[in-house]
């Protein structure tokens, strides 16, 4: 029982630290995000963070994983509920922009990480693996549409890169214009990629 209690407490503490790291990244920016600032917001000693995460790099990776989890939990059920790949692609695009609307601070925190953090020695950054997963998942959705004959004979990888590029351009606009109306963007993205992917009858 004691072990279970400690595990629960540790998980709760980790979640608290990640939430505070997201807040600091989103409001202070990457350059001003330090373990001390995160600890101050969490009302804990700075030494508690290395105990749970090892250091700033591991904490940043945990933030990336948490934002990815939030997005996945929100979007995947919507996509899987669709009866066709065409509707699945619509749900994918709508879900991505709805996530941006509803989870602004996690989005801003992730942007700070993507913009400023690179891997050691110029290697992969903390978001690079997740970005590849996003492309691979979208490829599967596009492959579904090809198999059912809804989509034309497109190259799933290339189209996935193009769709992600269009979606990933939106956060930068939101930073410059926090009051940006996402509804027209959603409509145009859905329409554009419905035309770009559909099979000509």
Give dist(CA 105, CA 90) in Å, integer. Answer: 24
Whole-angstrom CA distances from 54 to 14, 46, 49, 59, 62 are 12, 12, 7, 8, 11
Quickly state the pLDDT bin for 5 (edges 50, 70, 90). very low
Q: What is the mean pLDDT of the chain?
A: 91
CA distance 80 to 95: 12
Helix axes 56-80, 85-102, angle to 10 degrees: 140
The rounded percent of the chain whose pLDDT value lies above 90 is 78
Tell me: pLDDT of 46 over 70: yes
Q: Evaluate whether 99 touches 16 at the Cβ level (below 8 Å).
A: no
More confident site: 180 or 6: 180
Give pLDDT, residue 1.
35
**Domain at 2-197, CATH from 3.40.50.150, 1.10.357.10, 3.20.20.370, 2.40.40.20:** 1.10.357.10
Q: How confident is the model at residue 118 (pLDDT cuts 50, 70, 90)?
A: low
Q: What is the spatial distance between Cα 85 and Cα 89, in angstroms, rounded to a whole number?
A: 6
Q: What is the pTM of this model?
A: 0.87
- Confidence band for 8, pLDDT divided at 50, 70 and 90: confident
pLDDT in tens, 16-35: 999 999 999 999 999 999 99
- pLDDT recorded at residue 112: 92
Mean pLDDT check: name the lowest of 1-15, 119-133, 180-194. 1-15
> Residue 3: is its pLDDT beyond 80?
no
What's residue 121's pLDDT? Answer: 57
Query: What is the per-residue pLDDT across 76-114, written as a single tens digit (0 to 9) for each?
Result: 999 999 999 999 999 999 999 999 999 999 999 999 998
- Amino acid 120: pLDDT: 52
pLDDT score for 2: 39
Has residue 130 got a pLDDT over 60?
yes
Q: Helix or strand or coil: residue 198? A: strand
């Amino acid at each position: 029982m004691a072990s279970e209690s400690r595990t629960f407490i540790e998980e709760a503490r980790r979640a608290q630290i990640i939430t505070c790291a997201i807040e600091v990244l989103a409001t202070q920016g990457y350059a001003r995000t330090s373990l001390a600032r995160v600890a101050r917001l969490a009302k804990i000693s700075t030494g508690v963070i290395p105990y749970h995460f090892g250091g700033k790099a591991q904490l940043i990776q945990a933030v990336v994983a948490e934002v990815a989890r939030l997005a996945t939990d929100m979007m995947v059920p919507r996509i899987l509920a669709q009866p066709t790949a065409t509707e699945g692609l619509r749900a994918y695009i709508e879900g991505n922009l709805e996530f941006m609307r509803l989870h602004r601070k996690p989005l801003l925190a992730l942007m700070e990480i993507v913009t400023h953090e690179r891997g050691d020695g110029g290697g992969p950054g903390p978001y690079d693996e997740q970005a590849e997963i996003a492309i691979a998942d979208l490829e599967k959705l596009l492959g579904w549409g090809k198999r059912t004959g809804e989509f034309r004979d497109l190259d799933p990888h290339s189209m996935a890169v193009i769709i992600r590029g269009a979606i990933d351009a939106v956060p930068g606009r939101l930073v410059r214009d926090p009051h940006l109306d996402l509804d027209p963007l959603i409509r145009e993205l859905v329409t554009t990629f419905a035309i770009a992917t559909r099979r000509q009858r």
